[in-house]
Structure 1
Amino acid sequence: MDIPPTSPQLQALHRPSGVGVVDKAAAILDALEAGPTSLAQLVAATGIARPTLHRLAAALVHHRLVGRDLQGRYILGSRLGELASAAGEDRLTSAAGPVLTRLRDATGESSQLFRRQADSRVCVASAERPVGLRDTIPVGTRLSMKAGSAAQVLLAWEDHERLVEGLSGAVFTPTVLAAVRRRGWAQSLGEREPGVASVSAPVRSPSGRVIAAVSISGPIERLTRQPGRVHAETVMRAALNLTELVRSAETTSS
């Protein structure tokens, strides 16, 4: 990347807000929009003193707003993609209601939509089984990314660094996640809670990135010890339906 010593584009973008550290962080992110950048190039592009820029870049890396590539250059971080997805969450959750209701009716089990938020997964929409024994997960419930079929789906397609980090302390193994990627769905038996089984499949953004997981869950006695064999096709169809609705909504809004 070749950045001139002064950057009129960045100067035009950043009329100071009066909060210096925020202005500098924003300047760094704007410079990285052009692609992988060395520390020296960031200094040249932003005009920020090298020690200050190094300290700010380290803090942005810590919060995953900035990352490092294999050559050690700075790049935009994965957290920005998560925040961008969250900005479109209204479209996703509004489209999810009817899809989850149909999935519940087709399987007879409670259905949920999970999104990843930092080191947790959050239920952002659900359709509860109306009667009988059920696995109740209210909207807003925050669950671990270390167990459960939805956690497997939300982690399986991550980049190598986040995959390794996510597997640390997880109930599932790299072999399990490889199987999830191969077949396109996940199942769990008593991972999150004893006696509870679940099946999940990925919802993807128009770019193909996994942004959510559609799930059903209920007692093992009803879902059996091979819930994927019984329900995977139906859950995958619901996830694909939601993927297409999100793509259609984004195309319309564009």
Structure 2
Amino acid sequence: MTTKSTAGRKLAPANDNTGTEAAARVADVLLLFAGGPRYLGVSAISRELGLSKAVVFRILQSLVSRELLATDPGVNGYRLGQAAAALGASALRRFDARTVATPILRRLRDETGETTTLSGLVGDERVYLDQFESPREIKMTVDIGRRFPLHAGSSGKVILAFLPEDRQESVLRRTLEPLTDKTITDVDALRTALAETAREGVAVSLGERQAGAGSVAAPLFGPDGEVHGSISICGPQYRFTPEAIDRYRGLIRAASEEIRDNWTWLRDSEAGSA
């Protein structure tokens, strides 16, 4: 038996497409945990992503070994691990929009007495990144990190209204699933609502994402002029009277503009000191 040395011989490059596909599968598995139930099993992930159970199991074991996922005794499933939590916390600390939005959303909460929120655009969905809870006994709170479709609720609609046309059309071509009986699922009706939102710079929802909840939202524009998320005022629907909504429209619009200006100033000041 003989062997040949590989010294001085260029190895064949790995298949870039194969590597990209594998990385995409890992990312897709992790993203399921970001917006789904706390625990997910091999079978559920396999069905959702259209992957074989063997492939899913290998991905899960790799993620567990790096503490991105974890298991608990007596529970048949996987959950996000400590490393994933650390990544999320680090991302929030480094997200400039959250830095500049925090004092403004706290002030807005104090002015309105209602919960204020910050959402980020993730792919073709949105995720709650932060909230400042109302001091009232009866109030609305949101699930940080949970993903929601863009067609349901004011925070999603106001992002969708300001997306580039091709991305907006991609969302509108999908089946628009109802989250409540008030969710707009008719494409023509949604187009009308989005056009009004684009004109007004503000979206309103009365029970569209969550039954009994009212909200008013404005887009979160970055220094690049693109929409990166949204901010909202939200609370029990019965408190969102026409008079309250009119007041909140002006407040949320002004807050959005202030965040954009401060974000731009922060970006420019950091660039100048580099």
TM-score bracket for the superposition, by shorter chain length: 0.5 to 0.7
Distance in 1 separating the partners of 2:217 and 2:102: 16
SS class of match (1:198): strand
Q: Which residue of 2 aligns with 1:233?
A: 250
Matched, 1:127 2:132: yes
SS class of match (2:138): coil
Per the alignment, do residues 128 and 161 of structure 1 end up closer, same or farther by CA in structure 2, a change over 3 Å counting?
A: same
Q: Which residue of 1 aligns with 2:219?
A: 202
Superposition deviation, residue 126 in structure 1: 1.2
Code of the residue aligned with 1:96 in structure 2: it is: A
Q: Is the 8 A contact 1:198 1:227 kept in 2?
A: no
Q: Which residue of 1 aligns with 2:194?
A: 177
Q: Is the 8 A contact 2:203 2:217 kept in 1?
A: yes
Per the alignment, do residues 121 and 182 of structure 1 end up closer, same or farther by CA in structure 2, a change over 3 Å counting?
A: same
Q: Is the 8 A contact 1:104 1:129 kept in 2?
A: yes
Superposition deviation, residue 22 in structure 1: 6.6
User: Which stretches of structure 1, 4 residues or more, deviate above 4 A after TM superposition?
Assistant: 22-25, 86-89
Superposition deviation, residue 19 in structure 1: 4.4
Structural mapping, 1:76-225, within 5 Å? 90-167=95-172, 168=174, 169=176, 171-172=183-184, 173-224=190-241
What are structure 1's unaligned runs of at least 5 residues? 1-15, 26-85
> How large is the Cα RMSD of the aligned pairs?
2.7
Code of the residue aligned with 2:158 in structure 1: it is: V
SS class of match (1:248): helix
SS class of match (1:191): coil
Distance in 2 separating the partners of 1:102 and 1:191: 26
Q: Is the 8 A contact 1:199 1:227 kept in 2?
A: no
Q: Which residue of 2 aligns with 1:21?
A: 16
Distance in 2 separating the partners of 1:136 and 1:88: 21
Per the alignment, do residues 157 and 144 of structure 1 end up closer, same or farther by CA in structure 2, a change over 3 Å counting?
A: same
The C-alpha deviation readout for 1:187-207, integer Å capped at 9, x for no partner, is 011000111110001121122
Scaled by the length of structure 1, what TM-score is found? 0.63
Q: Is the 8 A contact 1:186 1:228 kept in 2?
A: no
Code of the residue aligned with 2:229 in structure 1: it is: A
Distance in 2 separating the partners of 1:184 and 1:176: 12
Code of the residue aligned with 1:141 in structure 2: it is: R
Q: Which residue of 1 aligns with 2:259?
A: 242
Distance in 1 separating the partners of 2:14 and 2:263: 36
Superposition deviation, residue 142 in structure 1: 2.2
Code of the residue aligned with 2:104 in structure 1: it is: V
Code of the residue aligned with 1:113 in structure 2: it is: L
Superposition deviation, residue 226 in structure 1: 6.5
Code of the residue aligned with 2:223 in structure 1: it is: P
Distance in 2 separating the partners of 1:191 and 1:94: 29
Q: Which residue of 1 aligns with 2:74?
A: none
Superposition deviation, residue 223 in structure 1: 1.4
Per the alignment, do residues 21 and 153 of structure 1 end up closer, same or farther by CA in structure 2, a change over 3 Å counting?
A: same
Per the alignment, do residues 251 and 103 of structure 1 end up closer, same or farther by CA in structure 2, a change over 3 Å counting?
A: same
Scaled by the length of structure 2, what TM-score is found? 0.59
| Matched residues, number | 179
Q: Which has the larger radius of gyration?
A: 2
Distance in 2 separating the partners of 1:206 and 1:200: 19
